[in-house]
Structure 1
Amino acid sequence: MPELPEVETVRRGLEKLVIGKEVKSVTVLWDNIVQAPGGVADFVHRMPGQSLLSVERIGKFLIFNWTDVAWIAHLRMEGKYLYVPTTESVDAYSHVILHLTDGYDLRYRDVRKFGRIHMVDKNQLEQAINALNLGPEPKDLTTVYLKGKLEKRKRPIKGVLLDQSVIAGIGNIYADEVLYAAKVHPEQAANTLTDPEIQAIVDASQAIIGHAVEVGGTTIRSYTNAFGENGHYQQYLQAYGRTGKPCARCGTPIEKISVSQRGSHFCPNCQKVHG
């Protein structure tokens, strides 16, 4: 699933490619992806004539600001946006197509069909964003905030890092990387973390997410940016996807277990449960 760095990279690409473009007509080939006040018919009726003013991001969500409406969009597992000539053939995985007045299409492509585009009136956007119940992004984390969120949570810290109401934007890949960098076991109960461990998680979250944004995110399977390019952070992964490979710190083979129903990679020597 694209996490904050990948979604931010997609946002930047869309900003370069599609800002100022006007919608001529719309084709929706998989209704479940679109959510609108009046259903798909409302979406198809209202989008023509809309120009894209800006693309913002909150956590893993993209916010498309059109002339009169807005989208809150989530890529889920494998969603991506393509800016291609209208004359280019439409493949079986392109489900929402905006035909633009410049002779190009903005196509939402999603192999698994899990992504969503939620259209709202501009005056309802703030309310819709608040309803997402998102916590701060890593760049805005403080030790005081995170300590307050952890002190009553007995869940494994890995599960808490994946909770978007606590921290927005971190998913499975970066949670593993953050905990590895902080030397915290993914099964450590959140309310038993020490102050230095909490500080280490805050520092690692900010450093790792910041670096991943700089290099265009992580491409593990199918993720590409709006230009069809892969990310590069996979070259820097220390834990995620490295089962059986030596820990960069101590040489112990990286192990993989299930924590909060997610595959979790860690060094059993550097990251030990305590307390």
Structure 2
Amino acid sequence: MPELPEVETTRRGIEPHLAGRRITTVTVREPRLRWPVPGDLPARLTGHTIRAISRRAKYLLADIGDGTLIIHLGMSGSLRLVDPATPLRPHDHVEIRLDSGRCLRLHDPRRFGAVLWTRDDPSTHALLARLGPEPLSDAFNEAYLHRSTRRRRVAIKQHLMNSHVVVGVGNIYASEALFLAGIRPGRAAGRLTRAECARLVQTIRQVLTEAIEQGGTTLRDFVREDGSHGYFGQHLRVYGRTGQACLTCETPVKQLIQGNRSSYYCPACQR
């Protein structure tokens, strides 16, 4: 599933080509995504100019002036900018043509993505209203994380993956950040000290920033807006390295199943 760094990479890739461009036509070839594509979407978008492309959590937000287009890539979605003459592929569900002569296509084989519309402030939309702070924002800090963990028995890794606590810290990035912070993924969130919370905020920011700069994690279904794969996977420190030597102390990396997801940690470096 594309995570925050992959979505931010996509945003940065498409924004220069979309901002300031007028939408000439919109074609919805398959409206049955995770939530139905609004039937009047072509009429709402055609003729309008895209002002900016922003991101909230894993949602891309296209400011159209009198409303906002909300796009989610789901489990396997991707956005590509192509020439309109480029042959359609199976699962190219939505196409937005621009006055530049290019078009943006949403490709989503599993149809877990979404293309929605709101005329209200997007932050009040039902899908975004209860989300936690952005991990790279000032709102996500030592005091906030420490406060959110008090009296919580849930494992710290699962706490970090709760989008109501903080957005965008997915399975891979949580494992990597906890390793750098020296904290085991199974530790009860409420047992973390304030100093550990401060360290964890720092490593979460470090890992996500690195991933954004390097294009995201290499996952089978994720491609960037130009069709090339991300490559942060080449720099993973513990994720997927069960039995291999820890890069810091050479102790074999262990695997732990938490909530049906695999966690990876060094039993010597993480406490």
Please indicate, yes or no, whether the TM-score normalized by the shorter chain is above 0.5: yes
1:137 paired to 2:148? no
C-alpha distance in 2 between matches for 1:213 and 1:24 = 31
1:89 paired to 2:87? yes
Coordinate RMSD, CA, aligned: 1.9
User: 2:17 corresponds to which letter in structure 1?
Assistant: L
SS at match of 1:144: helix
1:163 paired to 2:147? no
Superposed CA deviations along residues 102-145 of structure 1, whole A, max 9, x for unmatched, are 33221001121111122111x34242178431212222321111
Task: From 68, 71, 75, give the equivalent of 2:69.
Answer: 71
Q: Which runs of 4+ in 1 moved over 6 A?
A: none
- Larger relative helix fraction: 1
Q: What's the counterpart of residue 211 of structure 2?
A: 212
Q: Mapping of 1:1-275 within 5 angstroms?
A: 1-33=1-33, 40-121=38-119, 123-128=120-125, 131-139=128-136, 140=138, 141-272=140-271
Q: What is the percent sequence identity of the aligned residues?
A: 35
SS at match of 1:212: helix
* Paired residue total: 269
Mapped contact 1:135–1:167 kept (Cα < 8 A):
yes
Mapped contact 2:150–2:190 kept (Cα < 8 A):
yes
User: 2:101 corresponds to which letter in structure 1?
Assistant: G
C-alpha distance in 2 between matches for 1:195 and 1:83 = 45
Mapped contact 1:75–1:114 kept (Cα < 8 A):
yes
Mapped contact 1:35–1:119 kept (Cα < 8 A):
no
The TM-score, its normalising length taken from structure 2, stands at 0.92
The TM-score, its normalising length taken from structure 1, stands at 0.90
C-alpha distance in 2 between matches for 1:151 and 1:75 = 33
C-alpha distance in 1 between matches for 2:188 and 2:231 = 32
In structure 1, list runs of 5 or more residues that go unmatched.
none
Deviation at 1:65? Answer: 0.8
SS at match of 2:51: strand
Superposed CA deviations along residues 225-268 of structure 1, whole A, max 9, x for unmatched, are 22223323222210112122211112122222211221111112
Q: 1:34 to 1:41 in 2, by over 3 A?
A: farther
User: 1:68 corresponds to which letter in structure 2?
Assistant: D
Q: 1:31 to 1:66 in 2, by over 3 A?
A: same
Mapped contact 1:158–1:260 kept (Cα < 8 A):
no
SS at match of 2:42: helix
Superposed CA deviations along residues 19-72 of structure 1, whole A, max 9, x for unmatched, are 222222222122133857xx6321132221122110001122211111332122
Superposed CA deviations along residues 174-211 of structure 1, whole A, max 9, x for unmatched, are 00101111111111111111233222211111111122
